[in-house]
Structure 1
Amino acid sequence: MKMVLASARRKTARARVILRDGRGRVFVNGTPLEILEPEVIRLKIMEPLRLAGSLAEKVDIYAEAEGGGIVSQASAIRTAIARALVEWSGSEELKKLYLAYDRRLLVEDPRQAEPKKPRGRSARAKRQKSYR
């Protein structure tokens, strides 16, 4: 039985994916993907599976994510699933398809929120200075 582990990050979210031989079942944090809400998140996670076609029906995927928000977690899971599928199949064509469709399927987005600084509401905004 073949098994692949993959992980990915997005902002502060971390995702781990275990991919095994199976019947096309996908679980996200223990929940079947078919009943995952909201629908936008479900569709985002399904992108690499749809592109993989019949390959996705031969494997079971168990994904776990923590940290960040739901969209960041979905992006991290999506990247981890795509990486796992490419590694499991060993297909250069699938890798090229993912990179042509959306580079973020295989390459992490390194952008992070800038930390807040003193004397301001946010990272860059500061209290205005008045000389009079």
Structure 2
Amino acid sequence: MTTPKTEIYFATRKRASAHVYITKGQGKVRINNVPVEMIPQETAREVILGPLEITGDLRDKIDISVRVRGGGFMGQASAAATGITRALIGWTKSKKEPKEHPLPKSTREDLRKRISDFDKYLVSGDARQKEPKKFGGPGARRRKQKSYR
């Protein structure tokens, strides 16, 4: 018996980081080895399952396992959602061995288009990143002092 190919994808949100493992399977979704239905926060569960609602009946053909660390529960949920989206898009890209892929090429292209139409920030990450400090700008010392006498 051969083990199914597993692909790993990574995403972050605030202080949370998520590793997403995607394989061909029966539609199981597990977060830190716990079924997603058992997550106590309903809002976090909805955020995590958002990208999977787009896939429709294709969700039953894959298994997703997410390992999340750091941050709060909503940061973890957002990181998991971004990772799942990246995993779905990466998993649907053309493979060297298309015979092993459970989805035909036209279905994969349609899924990729639906995900990018749904939310472009899930794919590329959050646009509200911290802006780096500008060279020559005011420093901490200058803001505190009233005069330089």
TM-score between the two structures when normalised by the length of structure 1 = 0.80
Identify which of 120, 125, 136 aligns with 1:108. 125
Quote the sequence identity (%).
37
Distance 2:62 2:34 in 1: 17
CA drift of 1:83 comes to: 1.1
Identify which of 15, 32, 41 aligns with 1:38. 41
SS of 1:6's equivalent in the other structure is: strand
Q: In structure 2, what is the equivalent of residue 21 of structure 1?
A: 24
Distance 1:52 1:73 in 2: 21
Gapped regions of structure 2 (runs ≥ 5): 94-107, 133-138
The letter of the residue matching 1:93 is D
Report if the CA contact (8 A) 2:66-2:80 is conserved. yes
Q: Are positions 1:99 and 2:116 aligned together?
A: yes
Q: In structure 2, what is the equivalent of residue 67 of structure 1?
A: 70
Asked which structure has the greater CA Rg, the reply is 2
SS of 1:15's equivalent in the other structure is: strand
Distance 2:42 2:131 in 1: 26
Q: How many pairs were matched up?
A: 123
Identify which of 53, 57, 80 aligns with 1:54. 57
Report if the CA contact (8 A) 1:11-1:113 is conserved. no
- Whichever structure has more helix as a proportion of its residues is 2
For residues 11-45 of structure 1, give each alpha carbon's deviation from its aligned partner in whole angstroms, at most 9, with x where no partner exists.
12110000111111111011100111111110110
SS of 2:124's equivalent in the other structure is: coil
Distance 1:54 1:3 in 2: 21
Aligned structure 1 segments of 4 or more residues deviating by more than 6 angstroms = none
Q: Are positions 1:7 and 2:10 aligned together?
A: yes
CA drift of 1:84 comes to: 0.9
